[in-house]
Copies of this chain bind each other. A is one copy, B any other.
Amino acid sequence: MNVLLVLAHPERHSLNGALVDIATRELNSLGHDVQLSDLYRMDWKATVDQADFPHETADPLNVAAASARAYKAGQLTDDVKAEQEKLRWADAVIFQFPLWWFSAPAILKGWFERVFSAGFAYGTGKSYGDGCMKGKLAMLSVTIGGTEHDYSARGICGPIDDLLFPLTHGTLFYTGFTTLPSFLVHSADRLEEYGEGFSELVERYRERLYALETTAPIPFRSAASGDYAPRTRELRPGLEDQNASGFRLHLKTTS
């Protein structure tokens, strides 16, 4: 398998950097090929703007439309084209980042804004399970300062899977990725400082990497499943688990 690792952390000598090293080593030993996009080291341009579309003449600028035109005409910038080429190559993508302000670092957010062009990552009439990334695996690997309690079902920060939903569902599943449950490292600051629990963490991550191709994905409902009413795209009544609400509605029940 070809695996792309996308790293978003300013310090290479960090827990996030170590997790990327572990993934590279482990995946190689399993016979997979690995490429790394280390966004900070690449000095990745985080903001999408007019400079992304050097041939675009429409004024005022409409980012989505400009992105679609530039992609179709092969006129995106070289840095974006290189990332799209890596995505074409990849069978699986792992995103490695620290949870900052309850979401991905800006540099990674900007990677999605610039690389996931209309026409390249998603197309008209296709979404939620049926985008251009169909057939590829994706997984988030996230380090989190707070405790597991903080991010549990009743934790003060909100459930971690719900906080990551704009990425797992809105970005990855939307564009067609088979999205695996996120790999989570809680109390990451303590771990970095004292090294406590690090070997257990390595073992836990190795198990996830080993099972990359056999892990059951997050059971999001696809747009084409028939679970949503055609015009409103609202979930049809009665399909959800009892008492489910919010983002949980969009998980297929196992029964």
Q: Which chain B positions have C-beta within 8 A of A10?
A: 47-50, 61, 63
Task: From B61, B110, B149, give the contact of A11 (CB < 8 A).
Answer: B61
Which one of A86-94, A201-209, A239-247 is at the B interface?
A: A239-247
A49 touches B60 (CB 8 A): no
Per-residue B-contact encoding for A200-233, CB less than 8 Å = 1, 0 else: 0000000000000000000000010000100111
A246 touches B162 (CB 8 A): yes
Cα-based distance from A64 to B235 in the complex (angstroms): 41
Q: Is the interface of A mostly helix, strand, loop or mixed?
A: loop
A60 touches B13 (CB 8 A): yes
A102 touches B170 (CB 8 A): yes
B245 touches A248 (CB 8 A): yes
- Interface membership of A28, Cβ < 8 A: no
- The size of the chain A interface, using a CB distance under 8 A, is 69
A113 touching B100 in the complex, CB below 8 Å, given contacts A106-B106, A235-B156, A245-B243: yes
Cα-based distance from A166 to B144 in the complex (angstroms): 14
Find residues 1-26 in chain A having any chain B CB closer than 8 Å to their own CB: 10-14
Ordered by A's residue number, 19 sampled pairs between the chains whose C-beta atoms are within 8 Å are: A10-B50, A11-B60, A11-B62, A11-B63, A47-B105, A47-B106, A48-B106, A101-B171, A103-B166, A106-B107, A110-B110, A149-B234, A150-B233, A152-B234, A155-B234, A155-B235, A156-B223, A159-B247, A162-B246
